[in-house]
Structure 1
Amino acid sequence: MVRVAIVDNAPACQTILTGLCRRYEAEQGRALDVTVFDDGDAFVASYTPDWDVIIIDVDLGGIDGLGVMRRIREVDDAVEAILVSLTDEYAVGGYEINAMSYILKPPSYEVFAHDMTRCLDGRRACERRTIQVISGGRTRRVRLDEIIYVDSVKHRTILHTMLGNMQIVCSIIRFEERLIELDHAFVRANSGYLVNLAHVTAVAEHEAIMSNGDRLPISRPRRAAFKQAFASYVNAGRRSGRAGEPS
């Protein structure tokens, strides 16, 4: 079942948006578990990255909808977002928080249904490209293509991502098992480094050069296998027209 959060402080708008969800559910045959929130701060405070779609009013009073989504993006870059507003003056902000769409009130069913379908289709694809981790006492959802590499130092596992580094509660061995189930682009460079081949810009004799400029040593026993894996990845990317791009 698809979990949908409606965040709007106006009862009339809550009713309209809930009604649109129920009509979509009936006409499209896609079960929606809809929960309504009337306070953006409370929604952020209780947020866990297991929502599929957030439908949020830009003008909530207090913290606005864009501010709510900025804070949500700190822990969940995968949830789909639909912004709703009485005016289009905040539409540019939708790009900043990676919203799927921006709908003017009152929304028509046709526009709503089109954008909800885009969200759900995008969500299915995104589920194959994200992984949940525990970091800083919170559950976070991380996109696989944003992980540059993983390292393990003194029993600490660190994710080096495009958005910064985070220490996670998981051994590198177990994390490697989880990653390989989702994406075969992750390969060991040595016992302490797990590398995303999508972020390897070059392979020298003894090291891999990463997209963030880090140079990671490749151990002698893994050198031939690593170079072969990288060459296969690059060739596959060339055949699909995506060589050099994150997976």
Structure 2
Amino acid sequence: MPKRTFVLVPGAWFGGWVWRDLAERLRMQGCIVTTPTLTGLGERCHTNSNSADLTLHIEDVVSHIQMEGLDNVDLLGWSYGGMVISGVHSRIPEKIRSLIFFDAFMPDNGMSLVDMIDIDKRELYDTARGADQKIPPISMKAFGVNDPTVLEFVEPRTCLQPWRTFFEPVSVSPDIGLVSQSYILCTKWGIVSPMTRFLPLALTRKANVIKVKGSHLAMLTEPDETLAAVLSTP
């Protein structure tokens, strides 16, 4: 079987560092793996500007794939990263072998991230927008993360998120149904997982649905289970 090429896209507040354990495991299985960091986050936090938007983050990944000369890419997006990979597919569908939504937002065309969250949870984001300020990270415990070792690794590395990334609508290709898709749902949040709302759309797109008994950060809290789920995607 040919080697698979994975590009792992992080979510809001996180950088490519979040894939440390999963990337290592995938490479041990003979896969090609890259972990780009989006503008303003991770090791690129010094570039953080409120002018950063979803279009820029999509361009980050498009440019990464093009500059690295990657083809037949299994493009995996986690959480907010689902918005990014949807836009990347719209830009360079010829480069994408499959889309993997890892406990991620799965948008329809013209939707923004804030369109897909409960109204009562939008206050933080609307406040940041009104004040033209970046958005602080959500508590990791809400994501089901209680392991002190994981928290010690994660919390110092999260960054403020440019608010425009949550409010800009994404352009989803009308041909998105032609690409192989998978949805990996993590079931051990500290709250009721809001990601279950995307299962009907995933099924409409004939996506392969896989459940992982893990936190929203299962790539760190349950890396072996996450590896098995990712490798089981078609």
TM-score tier by shorter-chain length is 0.3 to 0.5
Judging by fraction of residues, say which structure has more strand. Answer: 1
Judging by fraction of residues, say which structure has more helix. Answer: 2
Which structure has more RCO (C-alpha within 8 Å, separation ≥ 6)?
2
TM-score (norm 2): 0.37
